[in-house]
Chain A
């Protein structure tokens, strides 16, 4: 027994490295995905080092410098490369700090939704029929509401803060993980290697987490990438509706809400925050497409 396990221990790393290499081969074939990955990495860097990169504090108001256009336009100043907003705050600094909020939202939502969803999905896949039905009906109920509306109402209950917005978004995104996990678990559960593990004496928990779960991860990873971008979009939408981060937080959606009244007077206060959302979400979606092609053999080369 000890001999067999040490043998496995010796073969697993090389196999894992091989798999990683194969994954990268498929992933890098998709040029869009690689570009998406680079943009996402840059976005993460900006989010992490926002304090060093931003020229000013995002909430400092420069009196007498309100609504200055970007430097290439007449009246623009190099001191404020992307202009200033209606109360004289530097757009560039606010955008850089906004990346931090979006990144944070994405990470927290994905971690919370995926952890809860995978757990419930595993339980549903292994549990007796009644518990499975109960969990899946509960998920059906969440899915019956348009996600943004449910998030909006949840935030109305919990109070409009960014943290509550994240909780609400994680809750509405979770059913997708439950369904995906349960579907793959049911697919894997009857396979020979699972039976073998059970016969060898693996308990329920070991079978669930060590034997079955790793083989269900591919679609979940893809879903994680896609819900990262959904989370950023929804959080921005909630901020835009006044039910997410509150001013003066430099969150991109909240910045757009502030900018609404200047739509026809100062294009830059409207254009840049939205562009930042679009580029980030697009990069993540490109990456997600690449991940799907690389991880899901059924869809390979379609």
Chain B
């Protein structure tokens, strides 16, 4: 087991360096002088220009620039935003809770709906229920979520007026940022209606972001359940006279969960890509919207830093999933 973990960690290091090179290289392969491009129509005075050249280290040889960048990254220094002059690292972690909260709610939604849907489809294999659920899942899987978001806004915000169109909480509520999670902070603040407002703001974005994971989970659960249901021990459990609900829900589902959990773990990348679209549409102040805004503002230090941190996050989660999977399933370790 230790060897498996070590081997997996060893592949992590070159990938980490590669990802750093990509984010380091990004600003340098841009056509034109990046400082001039970033300054845009505002232009720059000669002294300011020199100041930026020094700040980005463009006067140094390339290997030195990379070495400084790498050592900076390892110490949590990703440079400063060109627009706000704030530390990229700090900006990322101020906005990250918003994305985390949204992603967690999306995943909870997709598991709560997808798992039972998959189980039911497997149990009623080939019947009407199965067909209807799996067709719906395929529609969800094919959904352009930016359009789905607009449709939901038309129906629930426009026609019915149930949910707000954008933001994380109503404008009349003010409270301190304790945890960064709006649901928890609004409860702590004790203001009447604040929590409900936060929930209302979360519903549509969570559904939108959870749609594709929901479809994937439902499909994966169904196929994992089908595999397990044909095993001998399920026949034994049935033969013993256990109630079908107990056999399906307990004996089968527990064993079908392993691949399903893996799929959930590995959907972090999908979630973050989805967050870019979801946050942009709902003006959700998280890292997805931050990245898109920074790309449009040509705030390249932010794009560079955000790219690196997001890739690192995906890598760490994937590594954890892989190691956990190796723990549960000895067959994997032998490869």
Interface, chain A (partner B; CB < 8 A): 32, 137-138, 140-141, 143-150, 152-153, 156-157, 159, 229, 233, 236-237, 240-243, 253, 256, 259-260, 263-264, 267, 270-271, 273-275, 277-278, 281-282, 285-286, 289, 302
The 6 closest A-B pairs by CB, nearest first: A274-B147, A141-B18, A148-B273, A146-B273, A281-B142, A282-B142
Question: Beyond A267-B154, A285-B138, is A148–B18 a contact (Cβ under 8 Å)?
Answer: no
- Which chain A residues border B141 with CB–CB below 8 Å? 285
Which residues of the other chain, B, contact A267 by a CB distance below 8 angstroms? 154
Contact between B139 and A282, CB atoms less than 8 A apart: yes
Asked whether, in the complex, the Cβ of B142 is within 8 Å of the Cβ of A260, the reply is no
Q: Is the CB of B144 within 8 A of A149?
A: no
Judge whether A146 and B314 touch: CB under 8 Å: yes
Task: From known contacts A145-B307, A152-B292, A241-B277, infer whether A278 and B158 are also in contact, taking CB-CB under 8 Å.
Answer: no
A interface SS class: helix
B311 at interface (Cβ–Cβ under 8 A)? yes
Cβ contacts B105-127/A at 8 Å (1 or 0 each):
00000000000000000000000
Decide yes or no: A149 and B147 within 8 Å by CB, A241-B280, A282-B142 being known contacts.
Answer: no
Closest Cβ of chain A to B151, distance in Å, is 7
User: Size range of the interface on B?
Assistant: 35 or more
5 pairs, A vs B, C-beta closer than 8 Å: A137-B11, A140-B15, A260-B150, A267-B154, A281-B142
Q: Does B29 sit at the interface, judged by CB under 8 A?
A: yes
Q: How far is the CA of A41 from the CA of B41 in the complex (A)?
A: 48
CB distance from B19 to the nearest CB of A (A): 5
Q: Is B139's CB under 8 angstroms from A141's CB?
A: no
Min CB gap A2→B, angstroms: 45
Most buried by B among A32, A147, A153, A302: A153
Which residues from chain B contact A152 at a C-beta distance below 8 Å?
276, 291-292, 295
Q: For residue A282, which residues in chain B have a CB less than 8 angstroms away from its CB?
A: 138-139, 142
**Known A145-B314, A278-B139, A285-B142: A302·B223 in contact at CB below 8 Å:** yes
Min C-beta distance of B62 to chain A, whole Å: 18
Give the Cβ gap from B188 to chain A, nearest Cβ, in Å. Answer: 32
Q: How far is the CA of A240 from the CA of B277 in the complex (A)?
A: 9
Contact between chains at B226 and A302 (CB < 8 Å): yes
CA distance A150 to B314 in the complex (A): 13
A156-B295, A278-B142, A302-B226 known; A148-B276 Cβ under 8 A: yes
Cα separation A30 to B310 with both chains bound (whole Å) = 40
Contact of B154 among A233, A240, A270, A302 (CB under 8 A): A270
Question: Are A144 and B314 touching (Cβ within 8 A)?
Answer: yes
Chain B residues 294 to 324 lying within 8 A of chain A, measured CB to CB, are 295-296, 303, 307, 310-311, 314-315, 318
Instruction: Bits for B129-171, please: 1 = Cβ < 8 Å to A, else 0.
Output: 0000001001101111011101101100110000000000000
A146 is contacted by which of B15, B18, B19, B269 (Cβ under 8 Å)? B269
Task: Give the residues in chain A near B30, CB-CB below 8 Å.
Answer: 157
- Whether a CB of chain A sits under 8 angstroms from the CB of B26 is yes
| Number of cross-chain contacts by CB at 8 Å | 128
Neighbour of B272 across the interface among A143, A146, A156, A289, CB < 8 A: A146
Task: Say which residue of A146, A241, A260, A277 sits within 8 Å of B292 (CB atoms).
Answer: A241
B310 to A: closest C-beta gap in Å: 6
Minimum CB–CB distance from B291 to chain A (whole Å) comes to: 7
Interface pair A140/B138, CB less than 8 Å apart: no
A240 — which chain B residues lie within 8 A by C-beta? Answer: 146, 277
Give every chain A residue within 8 A of B223 (Cβ-Cβ).
302
Chain B hits for A237, CB < 8 A = 144, 146, 277
The verdict on B53 contacting chain A, using a C-beta distance below 8 Å, is no
B328 at interface by CB-CB < 8 Å: no
Do the beta carbons of B273 and A147 come within 8 Å of each other?
yes
Beyond A146-B276, A278-B139, list 11 extra A-B contacts (CB 8 Å).
A137-B18, A144-B15, A147-B273, A156-B303, A237-B146, A237-B277, A264-B158, A270-B147, A271-B151, A274-B148, A277-B144
Residue B327 at the chain A interface, CB threshold 8 Å: no
- Give Cα distance in the complex from A146 to B142, angstroms: 18
Residues of A within 8 A of B148 (CB): 274
Taking a contact as CB atoms under 8 Å apart, the answer to whether B269 and A147 are in contact is yes
In the bound complex, residues from chain B placing their C-beta under 8 Å from that of A263 are 150, 153-154, 158
